[in-house]
Structure 1
């Protein structure tokens, strides 16, 4: 399994991506999320592949401290995390969650915190995030779309990076 940043060449894959009606309660369709990334340079679409098949999708949002989710200038927020309907129940979202910190470190070296906001009734996503090491922050927002749980995980720098002199 691997993650990669979205490119225009991937448009056909996005066009063929399927979400259930239930999942649309929680996330934007990838084509809508990608349209937002084109308007906002702080948003980044990420594709998740297994055996060269697109199995999951998410966006990353660099809030740069101007977010109700964190005051950390070096945080990034996961949004629109979904699995293609045809690939549900195969563990792809769980695997992607484990791969995210290293992927973020590779593409966004200044980021030191990864945040995901999950609807309280979306217990499956909460569970897979917690298994990957995410912790509940205890933060909350006004309940516009229902109660939400804020989960975060630190993005660790490698030992060689931490030992470098500035």
Structure 2
């Protein structure tokens, strides 16, 4: 079973039934600097079977989206072949402020362990200017070990969470 839950937030692999909610999901100006809207990210998943799209459900309604990317994504940031990369993470602006990000990251570990048992670490990159996201990720247990890379929009901090 792929669904993982806490309170009113669940994680589930993308299903076609979620598409209508993701079509009308556009990040605000500043947020769009750091993550892509779900539909363009989904297109990349269709072209790359190492990208696994995940929907964040809030009270049963799609409220967020991210991708778990295998080795092809990880190798840009780490030499750990047993890691998975969290990318394109976002919460739909109309759902922000409900603690969805915090709750979704709390259930992420068990979701990954259940669906990717070989994975021993979750890695992500976050823009140095995206202070809010850095705080959320660190509160969820991600650690900055000092890794840095240059992204399209500036320096990225590489954060790690051991499973």
TM over 0.5: yes
Does the 8 Å CA contact 1:115/1:153 hold for their aligned counterparts?
yes
SS of equivalent residue, structure 1 residue 141 = strand
Partner of 1:134: 142
Does the 8 Å CA contact 2:102/2:136 hold for their aligned counterparts?
yes
Uncovered stretches (5+) of structure 2, i.e. residues with no partner: 1-8
Equivalent of 1:39 in 21, 41, 47: 47
Q: 1:65 to 1:33 in 2, by over 3 A?
A: closer
Per the normalisation by structure 1, the TM-score is: 0.88
* C-alpha displacement of 1:65: 8.3
Tell me the alpha carbon deviations over residues 94-126 of structure 1, each in whole angstroms, 9 at most, x when there is no partner: 111111111111111111000110001111111
Alignment of 1:47-126 (within 5 A): 47-63=55-71, 67-126=75-134
Please list every run of at least 4 consecutive aligned residues from structure 1 whose deviation after the TM superposition is greater than 4 angstroms: none
SS of equivalent residue, structure 2 residue 141 = coil
Tell me the alpha carbon deviations over residues 10-64 of structure 1, each in whole angstroms, 9 at most, x when there is no partner: 2112112232121111111100000000000000111001111111111111026
Per the normalisation by structure 2, the TM-score is: 0.90
Counterpart-to-counterpart distance in 2, 1:45 and 1:37: 7
1:154 aligns with 2:148: no
Q: How many corresponding residue pairs?
A: 155
Q: Which moved more, 1:36-45 or 1:138-147?
A: 138-147
Q: Which moved more, 1:80-89 or 1:10-19?
A: 10-19
Which has the larger Rg?
Answer: 1
Q: Using CA pairs under 8 Å that are at least 6 residues apart, name the structure with larger relative contact order, 1 or 2.
A: 2
1:24 aligns with 2:32: yes
More strand by share: 2
Name the Cα RMSD after superposition. Answer: 1.5
Does the 8 Å CA contact 1:76/1:115 hold for their aligned counterparts?
yes
1:8 aligns with 2:16: yes
